[in-house]
Structure 1
Amino acid sequence: MTAEPLASTPSDEELPEWFYPPEGGWTADDLDRLPPSAPRFELIDGAPVMRSPQTSFHSQVMRRLANAVELAAPPSLSVETDMSVRLGDRQRPEPDVLVADAATDPARTAYLPEEVVLAVEIVSEESRERDRKTKPLKYAEAGIRHFWRVEREGDQPVVHTYELDDTTGAYVATGIHRDKAVVPVPFPMEIDLTSLYRRWPAG
């Protein structure tokens, strides 16, 4: 099922108050002040980016990948989905999955980059440019040591793994994983990638 384009653009009188940027532009703290009725945003270069509805592939892969990473993670690490990382006053991206070395807090809404061990982005049609270029660059600049990018090939996820090169401050590709991801860092993991997405017959 796909959504139809919006039939019309609301007039200024119909727009909610949160639609308008605060004086001086959006900051990372402003996302915590949005009302519950507002859609979810991430902040990239001071611009709020609305999170689009997830596809079934994205939803299943994110949930099962997070579970698999959590099973392999040491007890001292926490695994989160849809949790943002505050990289700066005007940078607050939201990885699909992240692993953090930090105390958990039920009221927490973001992590700091020095707390993040691994950030994972699952590429979708509308976020392709951000997931492949913009966000990895910002994660690397913030010092997040490990980054994974998950691409869809047919009905199967393919995991591209990267590690931060301290001499250049940029990510270096360490592998492309199909069927199974076996990695030694940030901690040993062996993940059956063929189990992350399942297509059930209709009816």
Structure 2
Amino acid sequence: MFELLRAGGWLMWPILLCSIVAMAIVIERFWALRRWAIMPEDLVSRIWQLHRRQLLNDDRIAEIREGSALGRMLAAGLVNRFHSREVMKEAIQDTGRQVVADLERYLNTLGTIAAVTPLLGLLGTVLGMIEVFGVIMEAGVGNPGVLAGGISQALITTASGLSVAIPALMFYRYFDNRVDKLIVAMEEQALRLIEVMQGAREAGDYGGQA
């Protein structure tokens, strides 16, 4: 590993740093974007049961808020449950923007790594070829070892940059799509809560639904 870093030149170090950061983000996002942790099953139904039994007090709402990302959104609406539908919806939307920002955390960094590392590899290629042509100008083509070293540096940095960028881009697209699906599902749950609390639907419509 160290020999590969040395052969690729100093640009291998920022590429290595990008790979470490990208790996850390991927692991963290896999843990943070677990669907069951973000959207607990039957949360709207449980909230309705508490409301029907007149147990939906401030302590219960605080527990809901702290329990999950969806709970944060729904709790914002529950605080305003005695107000109009529009007030509940606006409160949920305001909190929802904060929740979405949390779900998208570090994704821009991952996308930046996917875009930058090929450029670092390309820069290594350019520097390697400059070294090759410099040797040719000074000593001609009679020293194949030095020429091979410059070409090797160019190839190693290019391959390393691409090997980091390709999986980083794949995971960026995957997490971005996952967040989009979670957002849509959370919006559906928030709308269901508003309809139930405002009496737009019968409570039985939500028995056993998440």
Q: TM-score range by the shorter chain?
A: under 0.3
The structure with more strand, counted as a fraction of residues = 1
The structure with more helix, counted as a fraction of residues = 2
TM-score normalised by the chain length of structure 2: 0.20
Relative contact order, higher structure (CA 8 A, sep 6+): 2
